[in-house]
Structure 1
Amino acid sequence: MRRKKLRILESFNFFLERQFIRGAHVQLFFVALLIGLLSVIGGALVLPSGEPTDSLGEAIWWAFLRLSDPGYLGDDEGTWRRLISTLITVAGYVVFLGSLVAIITTWLNRKIRILEQGLTPVTATNHIVILGWTNRTIHIAAELFQSTGRLKKFLQRHGVRKLKLIILSDDVTPDRLQELKDHPLIGERANEVILRSGDPIDREHLRRVDSLNASAIIIPSQTYTQSELITPDVETIKTLLSLNAEANGNFNHDLPYVVAEIQDENKLKAAYRAYSGPLEVISSDNIISRLIAQNVRHYGLSEVYNELLSNNFNNNLYARDFPEIIGKEMGFIKSHYDAAIVLGVVRKTNQKFEPFLNPPDDFEVKGEDRLILLARKMEDTEFEIEAPETFQESDVSIEYKGSLPIEEDSGIKQLLILGWNHQIPALIKELGSYEDEAYHVTIVSLRPPEERQKEIDLHGVQRGRLACEHLQVDYIRESELRGIHPEKFDNIILVSSGRLTDEEEADARTIVGYTLLEEILEGREKKPHILLELSDPSNEILIKNFKSEVLIGPLILSNLLASIAMRRELHSVHKELFTVGGAEIIFRTPQEYGLEAANILFSDLEKRAAEYHETALGIYEGFHYEKNKVHLKLNPDREEKLAIHSEVRLVVLTTVY
């Protein structure tokens, strides 16, 4: 039988380790025992020397005083007493002072780190929570802070005076706070944001942000990964389930209002099923793909979208309810607005919101209808009891001339897509849904064609009037890009690569690809329309002077999430505006309205649009690029004279049946 070796020292060290990791109180206890032991040993050694330590108790006290205070060292007489006193005093420096300072410092550092990590639960009511730190989080916070008028109304509805914004992040570091401060629309207001560390799928972490007492919870989608099992949508649905379970575990606590982002439209029903409370879910892939598709159909619309969907620009969409307009007709209501454009109403029916945009002037507003307006600021959306001075009785009596057709492109439109990400299948599906239009789409990427086609097939793309061709080419190599012959296409879309997790690197390929395109297309008489889709908003400054249009997905989605969180009914408006059929924003030529080159008032342009059952929004002059020129004028002053000529396009809201 093998004999076991005694390991007394190792066992003792292991015992100390297990005890010391239990916390500062155990560490202090062991230090106290050690000090007591040294005091007893020192007292016992000095006891035979006589006065004044003629008893063991007095000797132990003498030793303890020298352990704790080196000032007693000069009071001793005799060689033996001085030797023991010196040894005890040195031990006091090492054990008494050194150990106490080390333990207390370590404990304070640990406590400060815990506080910095945001592990302490908050106690709040009617606050706004953002679950997750993504490339949208900072911009959502910025939109909330910048939506002054809309935010004020939101706070009034919930009976609070000041915005309480809490962000649950995977990690809380000084860098995260600095990122908030560095955002130009947040700045020093970053100190008003409360950061908490945790994972939104963990119920315990949801309690840290007091989620059940929030007035609104925003769940932005995480960055898309290549994992086939755990996708961002899976995490979002799990978060909704965790919120549901948290409410059920608190005696059926009322569930807060939630705005969540889902990337794959096929998971929308699962998201709504996962949460029992008030919920709005946006499909980000569908939204971005629809915006890109609309821009392919009507080149220039990206500038309109960027203004409508970002507080960085002049105009935004607002939803307002006024008791005094109930029973009034839309023509009468429009005449009472001088600085805002009435787009229609949202009507609540069976707990659902139904938009009625671009309604006729005889449309009657009912009890729970909310006006949808395009305005520069909230103050402009107030309903004036008295009509403005420019109001004329003829303003509400329009002679209708019938509806104008929507011009559709004849033939097959050639579309080139450079790059690949998870939004491309949704874009192909969107283009395939246009029954009266035909597309030949060429997709250029380094990703294997069979993988791309598989993802497209999973989205159920209609193939009737759409053909899809795949090329495995690196488009940032000029020779390979020239071989594609980009000049033969009608539209070119450059998208950020989905294979690169770093957004700056993904956008870098897109920007380099664009510069190569400019070089190749230089001097061509007919150039394709180019659209850039970027992932990192900070790269917008790099392409400021590019002769192309730009869509920055995170900025658009951040505004949508923030605005829907403050006004739930706006979700139905966005879905109506950015889907096929129903109300759509389009461009009209002046000739379609029978207008000749002239300077006309915007109020007169509104009347002319109303004659064709349309709502005038402004003018667009961006079809021929000029540096440092404002291309888009939405909601101009009613008395502003607009220069109308053949190169100008009228921005109107129409209805497509």
Structure 2
Amino acid sequence: MRNPLKEIRERLRYLLDRVFAREFSGQLIFFIVLVVLVTLLGMSAVFIGLFDQENLAVEGVPTKIDRGFWDAMWWSLNHVLNLRGFQRMYGASLPIVLYALLLSILGLAVFGVLVSLINNTMRRRIESLRAGETPVWEKGHVLILGWNNKIISILQQLARLSPGARVVILAPEEIQAMENRLRVAGIQNEPITTILRTGVPSNLRELDRVAVDRAASIIILSTDGDDRDSIKTLVLLAGREDWPGTRPTLTCEIAREENYELAMIAARDRVQIISSSRVISKVIVQTIRNPGLADVYHELFSISGNSLHVLEAPELAGRTLGELALGFRDGVPVGVAWEQPVEGGVRLAAGLNPGADYDLLEEEQLVLLAESPQVGFKEPGEEYQCTVARDGGSQPRVPKRLLLIGWNDMVYDILKELDAHALRGTAITVLSGVEPGKARSLIAAKIHYSLKNVELEFRQGDGSDARAYEDVDLAEFESLVLLADDSWGSDDADTHTLRVLLRLSSLPWLEARRPHTTVELLDHANRDLLAGLGVDDVVVSPDIVSAQAAQVSRESILGPIYKELLSAGGVEISLRPAGDYVALDTDCRFDDLTWSAQQKMEIALGLRFSDTGQVLLNPSRESVWRLTGDDRIIVLAQQVYR
């Protein structure tokens, strides 16, 4: 049975919806009806003594017309509309009263329109300010064009490198969404100022709005992994010739490897290009070959700790890098950098590990691994004599059996890099949400040559489901790699990675034999969640790329240095057995490691202790250790390809 009151309420609600749907005409009718109804309600005061003797002396009670209907309506209407001019017309002739009422209502409407205009203008102004539509009047600021998951790490790096910096962000995102993301990450507590603007970075007018002419450095980010806008912005800025002052340092991230070559063409040697896919795949493969290397990169690219710096020291010209390595007590020389003249300007170039007998030229800069650029040089004494050096030649290798769980755009570069380092016959099994036939087609489309050393097997299955491992002999694998998987369409790849690790930890085969496990994460905040799950190395991919972008934007010479460090065929950071360098269980210092590494055309960067897993880069020259066969020496060495 229907409720009559409920039905009445629904009909009234529907009537109001229809009235306001008709905009002005409907709302005007509603206003008139409302005034009439409320006025009639006010006239009912007659029945509660409006014209009683005790109220007749009150100034606000009219009595000159009839002390009845008309006086009651006058009294009620003036209370409803509160029209001052109309109130003073009491007792006038009917035409004058009606005319005064019309003028008063029109005056009320005019006043209402004025209030509405002011209100709307203020509201639009506030919305415009919130939307970031006003021009930016900064100078010498860092300009970030685009938005992705690396933005937080970039801002944290900039806060560390340049406290007090002013950072302007132009991205095709809502201001409120960007503000919320920065607030959750705690950027408001960092010593930088962020200014947000919504817009399209590849639009010249939008760039003028964020003072692109006055920026000290510009970072172009790949928005949501799509390089289309990045390349358009890159073409726009790299081809510009009419900079009013010094050309700002330009850095551009390219997410997809297939776009890297086009980006390099568009850059014209004027922009530092960072291929996030190439960089991360390189780090992951190096970590597979060198267990523990992820911690080295974590410190190298972290907000605190040792990182790469460039030092201008013309007074050291003529000295060899071997002499300099023993003279710096709080830094490790790893290479040289210089400016190379090209058509239309200069190009920055760098060479890492040129050899201990390389003479530093006056026009060259020294590349150092140190906690800060302020390092001290002590004149070395007599030629250093190392009494504990040992000769060995261990090389890192790719495991013969490897299980790769997950699928994303980096899988192609990872497979190419693994093939370059692996011995012939190395078996790689890929478990993901991609159907095997489609996976082979994708590999064939992205890798335009036959992989010579690795044999691929593709399986479709969810790594967090035990059924995916039913017919897989997991005990045969020497190494596990978990990628940030996007093959299942999940918005939170890290959560899926955690579920896979939980599943793997429950399998009985791990109790007998635990392979080396490397995990890719997209958010460093999730790193602590992996404790106790058997993870050996964690690669937080956005942090590595964002650290490069931030550091290169501040010091452009670091661009070719990182390119040399993380490019195929160059040098690489490697972890080698301590017994290849010094006598085991014998007192040694870092100078001993430095001298011994120089004999192998390598540069000693630090140590990794097997008992604690601690990574020690650029250690104190006064420390003394007794190393074991499981300890590792961190060196910068030439890559060896099979």
- Quickly name the TM-score band, shorter chain normalised: 0.7 to 0.9
> 1:506, CA displacement in angstroms?
1.6
**Relative to structure 1, is the Cα distance of residues 281 and 244 closer, same or farther in structure 2, using a 3 angstrom cutoff?**
closer
**Relative to structure 1, is the Cα distance of residues 106 and 497 closer, same or farther in structure 2, using a 3 angstrom cutoff?**
same
> 1:70, CA displacement in angstroms?
4.3
Check conservation: 1:255, 1:276, Cα contact below 8 A: no
Quote the residue 1:355 is aligned against: 350
Check conservation: 1:429, 1:461, Cα contact below 8 A: no
Distance in structure 1 (CA, Å) of the matches to 2:388 and 2:579: 17
Quote the residue 1:393 is aligned against: 382
1:456 to 2:466 alignment: no
1:315 to 2:306 alignment: yes
Quote the residue 1:237 is aligned against: 231
1:283 to 2:275 alignment: yes
The percent of aligned pairs where both chains have the same amino acid is 26
Distance in structure 2 (CA, Å) of the matches to 1:631 and 1:462: 40
- TM-score w.r.t. the length of structure 2 is 0.79
> 1:418, CA displacement in angstroms?
0.8
> 1:329, CA displacement in angstroms?
2.2
Task: Deviation per CA, 1:421-470: give whole Å up to 9, x if none.
Answer: 11101111111222656521111112122322222222224421111111
Q: Choose which of 461, 475, 480 in structure 2 pairs with 1:487.
A: 475
Distance in structure 2 (CA, Å) of the matches to 1:191 and 1:559: 16
Quote the residue 1:173 is aligned against: 175
Amino acid at match of 2:382: E
Distance in structure 2 (CA, Å) of the matches to 1:586 and 1:260: 28
Amino acid at match of 1:205: E
Counterparts of residues 299-338 of structure 1 (less than 5 Å): 299-311=291-303, 313-338=304-329
> 1:373, CA displacement in angstroms?
1.0
Distance in structure 2 (CA, Å) of the matches to 1:306 and 1:321: 26
Task: Deviation per CA, 1:387-417: give whole Å up to 9, x if none.
Answer: 3xxx54233x77998985342549x711111
Distance in structure 2 (CA, Å) of the matches to 1:398 and 1:594: 9
Q: Choose which of 493, 498, 504 in structure 2 pairs with 1:517.
A: 504
Quote the residue 2:636 is aligned against: 653
Distance in structure 1 (CA, Å) of the matches to 2:267 and 2:605: 38
Check conservation: 1:401, 1:612, Cα contact below 8 A: no
Amino acid at match of 1:296: I
Q: Choose which of 101, 104, 117 in structure 1 pairs with 2:131.
A: 117
1:106 to 2:120 alignment: yes
Counterparts of residues 377-416 of structure 1 (less than 5 Å): 377-379=372-374, 381=375, 383-384=376-377, 386-387=378-379, 391-395=380-384, 404-407=392-395, 409=397, 413-416=400-403
1:371 to 2:362 alignment: no
**Relative to structure 1, is the Cα distance of residues 85 and 469 closer, same or farther in structure 2, using a 3 angstrom cutoff?**
same
Quote the residue 1:296 is aligned against: 288
Quote the residue 1:37 is aligned against: none
Quote the residue 1:636 is aligned against: 619
**Relative to structure 1, is the Cα distance of residues 522 and 581 closer, same or farther in structure 2, using a 3 angstrom cutoff?**
same
Distance in structure 2 (CA, Å) of the matches to 1:124 and 1:609: 49
> 1:589, CA displacement in angstroms?
1.5
> 1:645, CA displacement in angstroms?
1.6
Counterparts of residues 543-558 of structure 1 (less than 5 Å): 543-548=530-535, 549-558=537-546
Give secondary structure in 1 for the equivalent of 2:299. helix
Quote the residue 1:216 is aligned against: 217
Quote the residue 2:567 is aligned against: 579
Task: Deviation per CA, 1:60-84: give whole Å up to 9, x if none.
Answer: xxxxxxxx99444554442437844
Check conservation: 2:400, 2:425, Cα contact below 8 A: yes
**Relative to structure 1, is the Cα distance of residues 580 and 241 closer, same or farther in structure 2, using a 3 angstrom cutoff?**
closer
More divergent stretch after superposition (573-582 vs 113-122) = 573-582
Check conservation: 1:340, 1:635, Cα contact below 8 A: yes
> 1:513, CA displacement in angstroms?
0.4
Check conservation: 2:396, 2:576, Cα contact below 8 A: no
Task: Deviation per CA, 1:151-171: give whole Å up to 9, x if none.
Answer: 48xxxxxxxxx6231100213
Segments of structure 2 that go 5 or more residues without pairing to the other structure are 1-20, 26-80
> 1:117, CA displacement in angstroms?
0.9
> 1:377, CA displacement in angstroms?
2.5
Distance in structure 2 (CA, Å) of the matches to 1:635 and 1:437: 37
Amino acid at match of 1:183: A
**Relative to structure 1, is the Cα distance of residues 571 and 521 closer, same or farther in structure 2, using a 3 angstrom cutoff?**
farther
Check conservation: 1:343, 1:372, Cα contact below 8 A: yes
Check conservation: 1:255, 1:278, Cα contact below 8 A: no
Check conservation: 2:165, 2:191, Cα contact below 8 A: no
Distance in structure 2 (CA, Å) of the matches to 1:142 and 1:455: 36
- TM-score w.r.t. the length of structure 1 is 0.78
Check conservation: 1:400, 1:613, Cα contact below 8 A: no
Task: Deviation per CA, 1:509-539: give whole Å up to 9, x if none.
Answer: 1111011111115653322111111123332
> 1:314, CA displacement in angstroms?
1.6
> 1:301, CA displacement in angstroms?
0.9
Distance in structure 1 (CA, Å) of the matches to 2:414 and 2:274: 16
Quote the residue 1:271 is aligned against: 263
Quote the residue 1:430 is aligned against: 417
Distance in structure 2 (CA, Å) of the matches to 1:404 and 1:109: 74
Check conservation: 1:330, 1:365, Cα contact below 8 A: yes
Distance in structure 1 (CA, Å) of the matches to 2:243 and 2:465: 62
Give secondary structure in 1 for the equivalent of 2:620. coil
Task: Deviation per CA, 1:74-111: give whole Å up to 9, x if none.
Answer: 54442437844772476157413322222211111111
Task: Deviation per CA, 1:254-309: give whole Å up to 9, x if none.
Answer: 75432111133343232133245711112111111111111111111111111112
Distance in structure 1 (CA, Å) of the matches to 2:273 and 2:391: 34
Check conservation: 1:181, 1:190, Cα contact below 8 A: no
Distance in structure 2 (CA, Å) of the matches to 1:119 and 1:606: 56
Check conservation: 1:401, 1:611, Cα contact below 8 A: no
Check conservation: 1:473, 1:480, Cα contact below 8 A: yes
Amino acid at match of 2:630: E
**Relative to structure 1, is the Cα distance of residues 501 and 446 closer, same or farther in structure 2, using a 3 angstrom cutoff?**
closer
**Runs ≥4 in structure 1, deviation > 4 angstroms?**
13-17, 68-74, 250-255, 397-404, 435-438, 500-503
Amino acid at match of 2:383: S
Give secondary structure in 1 for the equivalent of 2:507. helix
Distance in structure 2 (CA, Å) of the matches to 1:610 and 1:191: 42
Distance in structure 2 (CA, Å) of the matches to 1:482 and 1:601: 50
Distance in structure 2 (CA, Å) of the matches to 1:254 and 1:593: 48
Q: Choose which of 136, 143, 150 in structure 1 pairs with 2:157.
A: 143
Give secondary structure in 2 for the equivalent of 1:451. helix
Distance in structure 1 (CA, Å) of the matches to 2:634 and 2:546: 25
Q: Choose which of 332, 342, 346 in structure 2 pairs with 1:341.
A: 332
> 1:360, CA displacement in angstroms?
3.1
> 1:363, CA displacement in angstroms?
1.3
**Relative to structure 1, is the Cα distance of residues 450 and 100 closer, same or farther in structure 2, using a 3 angstrom cutoff?**
same
Distance in structure 2 (CA, Å) of the matches to 1:283 and 1:132: 16
Quote the residue 1:133 is aligned against: 147
Check conservation: 2:522, 2:542, Cα contact below 8 A: yes
Give secondary structure in 2 for the equivalent of 1:335. helix
Distance in structure 2 (CA, Å) of the matches to 1:455 and 1:253: 46
Check conservation: 2:389, 2:582, Cα contact below 8 A: no
**Relative to structure 1, is the Cα distance of residues 633 and 481 closer, same or farther in structure 2, using a 3 angstrom cutoff?**
same
Distance in structure 1 (CA, Å) of the matches to 2:604 and 2:251: 31
**Relative to structure 1, is the Cα distance of residues 181 and 214 closer, same or farther in structure 2, using a 3 angstrom cutoff?**
same
**Relative to structure 1, is the Cα distance of residues 601 and 475 closer, same or farther in structure 2, using a 3 angstrom cutoff?**
same
> 1:653, CA displacement in angstroms?
1.8
The structure whose RCO (Cα within 8 Å, separation 6+) is larger is 2
Check conservation: 1:431, 1:439, Cα contact below 8 A: no
Distance in structure 2 (CA, Å) of the matches to 1:435 and 1:444: 20
Check conservation: 1:212, 1:254, Cα contact below 8 A: no
**Relative to structure 1, is the Cα distance of residues 190 and 348 closer, same or farther in structure 2, using a 3 angstrom cutoff?**
closer
Quote the residue 2:53 is aligned against: none
Distance in structure 1 (CA, Å) of the matches to 2:340 and 2:470: 55
